Every structure is written in C-alpha cells, then in structure tokens.
Structure 1
C-alpha cells in the first residue's frame, strides 16, 4: 500500500521528480566517465611500459637492473635453466600464464650522425621472437623492421634529432666486456613511432648478433630474457615463483615492469588514489544537492503530511513512504544514468578520446594521444550501490523530519 502511494507521489509533480532524477543522472554519468577515463589513462601507460619496453618481466643476471653494466650477463646454462622454469610456469589449472619469451642484449651507448651525438640504450633482439613480446615491429612508420643485414631501427624523435632518414648511416658506440670502446657503422633500416618522445629518443634496436659483436659478448651470452604474460593479473605470482626457483645466489635477478619502472608504478597508485578522492568529493556534492532538494520537497508538502496524519496514517508510514520515494527516484536515475553511461563509455572505449592537443604532455608519461575508456563490472556495481546509498541517505533525514511534524501545525502550515 505505502509503496503504491510512494510510486504515485513521484508522478504527481513530474517537474520535481525530473529535477531529482536529473541530479542523479548527472552524478552517475560523471562518476563513471571520470573512472573510465582515469582507468583508461593508467591502462594506456601500463600497456606502453609492457608492450614497448620489455614485456611484463625480465630475467637477468643478479644486480643487472641496479647496475646495467656490460659485465653482467646470463650464460647459456643459466638461460636453459630459466627457460625450463618458464615452461613449468607456463600453465596453471589449465590457464596459460606465460605467453612468450625472448632473449635480449641491452647495453648503454652513444649514437652519432653527421649532425650530433646522443646517449641511447642499444637493444639487441631476435626479430621473430621479439615480435611476440613487444610492439616495436608494429610501430614502424618508415622503412622496415630488423633483418639480417647491418640495419638499425630508431625512434622518430631520435631520427629528427640526428637529422637522419631511412638508409642514412649512423655510428653506434659502446663499452665492450673487456673495457674497450667499440663502435660500428649501421644504416637506418626503419623508424618507429610510439607516441612517447622520451622512448623514441632513447631506444635503438639491432639484431642480437650485431649487439653481441659490438659489445664483445659471446654468441651464447645475453643480458636478459623478456617475458610476456597472458594477463597482468598473473604478474605477482609468476615473479614470486621465479624468484624462488631462480634465486639471486644462483646468479639470477627477476624484475617486473613495476620494478623496472618505479615511476610508472607510483603514477598508477597516485592516479588511483586521486581518482578515488575526486569521486568521493563528487559523491558528497551530489548527496548534498539531493539532500537540499529533498528538504525543499518536504517543506512544500507539510500540509499534505498533516492531512495524512489526521486521517490516521502513522508517522512511521510517512517516513517509510518518503524513503521509498527516494529509493524509486534513485532506481530511475540509476537506470537512465546507466544507459547513457554505457553508450558514452562504449563509444570512447571503441574509438577512444583524441587528446592530440595534449600529446606532448601525455608522451612524458608514456601515454598515447588517444585514450580508450576502461571500466570493469566491479566499477559499475560500486557506483550503482553508492548512488543508491546516497539517494536513500539523502531522503532519510528529510523523511525523519517530516514524520515529526505536529498534526495541527502541519495542517495549518502555509
């Protein structure tokens, strides 16, 4: 009975109900858009780190990431043992965890052209295997990816700084294992673009054989094994098991992308925290807005409540009726807000939000100029529950206040 009355009361004053529902819709759409954008931003940065740098994790010689010098490397027996462990960790409970792995020789060096010289990281890779771990091969915008010749792949920003194009000659310089300074001349075979200016000017790619010869490594020596997982959710457990089975006293070091990129990890945590703060502030603002509107509604209906109590309806029933009105309005607003949010977020999840105007600033964090919105089912449910809670709490205080009016005062209220 009370629920029917509450439902009818909503439509007695359509304008008032529309204002309340619109407030809820604006709140819920705003919450989801902020969450989807912030998650998309963080995911873009993480994807950039994982898919461009060196996969989810790397197995290297112990101490390599603390001091990436050329005298730290994995021997052939160490590589075989590491690959054996990766094979054992590949699947668990029928689910694939380790997707791909690839050897890499990475050394610090200099690159020179006829115009200038710059410091870079020189990566030696197995082209076919590296394609399965990173996306550099898919980001070539000029020329071709690595082949068996003396070709080098460089970033677009580095090419601009060196003022070179495809087929131009550059010189790479690095320290060898015996302490000598070695150099080699290479032709630019390809130029890649990833959207991160820092990355593009810092990393150059050659075949692993070329870098081994340049840095004085033997054919069987590498600096690390890059590992790509099927999903980032397996990262912590795989790293833990590798560190247990490939201990530091055995000459191994296992570093996740978070260990290799502490700035990225910090940015991920700070973004999640700041997003939570912003969303919390927005929830409070919406709650105060709804509370204010509900109080105005209550004072507009004081005479109505007096008549109801004079006809024998208990104050508790009036309180229940008003809470139900808040619940119904919350459900309507949530339903409408969900439909709008799904449509908008779905559009930006597929097409992405073009932020080309801010590409320079975004590239500093390794984020592309197009952000694809991301939202999980947990995010949806969290917001729905919170909005319903806000709607109920906003209606509760006015409902309690309305149930305490004196009958005579309420009837005579103007």
Structure 2
C-alpha cells in the first residue's frame, strides 16, 4: 500500500489559505505579523490566525506557523508571549530555526509540535537524529539534499522523525536561505523577513580599467543574471521522494498569488491522488502543462539527483502564457451566472479556461454576456476587483479560478 503524504501549501493571506484548502492542500504554512521570514506578505494578525486555525480544523486540515527568524536578545520577551498565544489557539505546529527560540517554546508550550525549518540546513541523518532527540517532530531538509541523502537520513532516524522537502517553487541562491546580500545592498535583513531578493536583480559587470565596457557572461538583452536560480519542479518524481521516506511535500510561495496557489496545488494534488488510486505514478500531460500556466522561471529538479553545473543559473524572468482573469465567488442559479471578482482584463468573445478541483477542471467558457452588480451590460471588463456576473450554464464554486491564454503569442 502506498504511504500517503501531506501536501503543504503556502498561504500569505486568508484568501490564499482558503484557495489552498479548496484545491486540496492538506495543510498550510502561514506567518503572523512578526517573527516570520516574509515580512512583505500580507500575513495574519492574532484574530486572523485564530480564525484560520478554527477554519482549517473544521475541514480536518492543519495550519503551521513560521517563527523562523534569527532572533536577537530583545526579541525573546515578545517571543515568549507569542508562543503562549499560538499554543492557546491550537496551532498544529511551529516551523522554527533558532535553538534558543525552540528551547523557549518548549519551556512555555511543552506540548507544541515543532518542525525544524530548512533554514537550519539539515543535510544528514546524524543532525536530524540530534534534533529528534531534542523533541523536534519534523525536519524540513535543506534543498541541497539528494534523494539518496534522504533515504540514508530516513534509515538513521526511522520513525522518530518526519521528513519534509520542497517540491516546487523559487529557490534561494544561498545555502537554504542564510544570505546577507539583502543586508549589504539595501540594509534589509533577509534573516529577519525583509529580503529584497537582490539575487534576482539584473546585473552587468565592468572591469575597473574598462569603464563602459560591460563584460558578457550569461546574459540576455535585459542584463546578467549571475545569481538567478531556476525554479524547482519535482512533479514527475514524487514517487521517488515517497519511496525515500518523505512525509510532507512543500510548495514554496507565500508571497505569490491565489492563482499560483490554485494551479500548483491542483497539479500536485491530482498527481498524488492518481498515484494512490492506481498504484502507478504517471502524471498526465495536462498536469505537467498546468505548471507551465503559472508565472515561473525555467524549471529544474534542483539537487535531488546530484549536483548540476547549471542548476542555479537562469537567464529568464518569471513569465507565463496565461493570465489570471478572475476568482469565482459563487453561482447565481436564478440568473444562471457565475459571480466573479475580476483580476485581469477580458472582453466579449474571449475564451476562458476553468481551474477547479472538480469535474469542471479545464472546461472552456466563451464570454457572451457580462453584467455588473447594477445589471449594466459590460462588453470590455477592465476594472480589477470589480464584481461581475458572467452568463454561463457551467456551475462554478467559491475559490474556483478563471484564466485566459495571452493573445499576443
């Protein structure tokens, strides 16, 4: 019997959490307004965290909270209060890095489950076993870990520790995230949630004695991406990770859109469910193509199959052939209309594609009649977040997504 693994999705806001669960995520990882490594995501205040946890538990799903900054001495009084609060609202686990913060958490919330963040750079079974002996329930392995490393680590830790790995999304050019580029170039501390992603900037290099003569390296007409990493995509190899002993598959992207969450969760959920049902792992072409419909850099399998000379370098910017057109808010039976919140421009005659967890997945809808909330006919829909009514017999549900292929291709 195939062991079922957790599908863990990013949620930088309540809307993204709702989307992730709607499309089949088993758990979401989120952050409060402090002590997480994504200071520029919307994140969750105390009331929002409590509400999110309660909502997840009604669905028999889980919420993990990231508390993975590298804290300074002055942070610990507030951390203590935060741990007590998170324990009181029933958070399922904390994702942490710092040994001192972990020790404090265990002293004030001894029953709280703790997962060790990838920031801790765990690359071997002996380190993983050490953390298990400290009461850690799960380790998020470093992205530099190979499948063979994972197998050997699982052999060492056995059932004493769960292993979690990233399977999709952006990769930090630094060793699992400990980077000072942002600090140096912008004074924003990447290890305290303020990374400006300086590794993604466009650079040209000039030799000191040849000013005005930029050197050509890996370059396109936009500049040189000397530190630009490809995005990870392990959709074709989930069975190998399961066999290696992985318990949770993690998708990167707390700062990405609801559309990204919907698309990536769809692909991985459907691929896993097909495996559980048939015992044969063979993702369909439509699922492989699904991951091409979100904005991304060129894909790589990272270090899972060993070091690759060009694994990190990419000359591209994130792009996609598809546009996020609308998030569905429901269906009006009396009007036979899909209720939607617009995200991208579309017009009468356009063909929209459905992204849904049910049988409506990949259905096409030709735009014919669209009305605003006052009943006015709209032929050119161009106002973001406007609530619209799209005439259609296709019954869609809250959090479904509509998208459209770019016309300029």
* TM-score (norm: length of structure 1): 0.24
Question: Which has the higher Rg, Structure 1 or Structure 2?
Answer: 1
Whose helix fraction is larger, Structure 1's or Structure 2's? Answer: 1
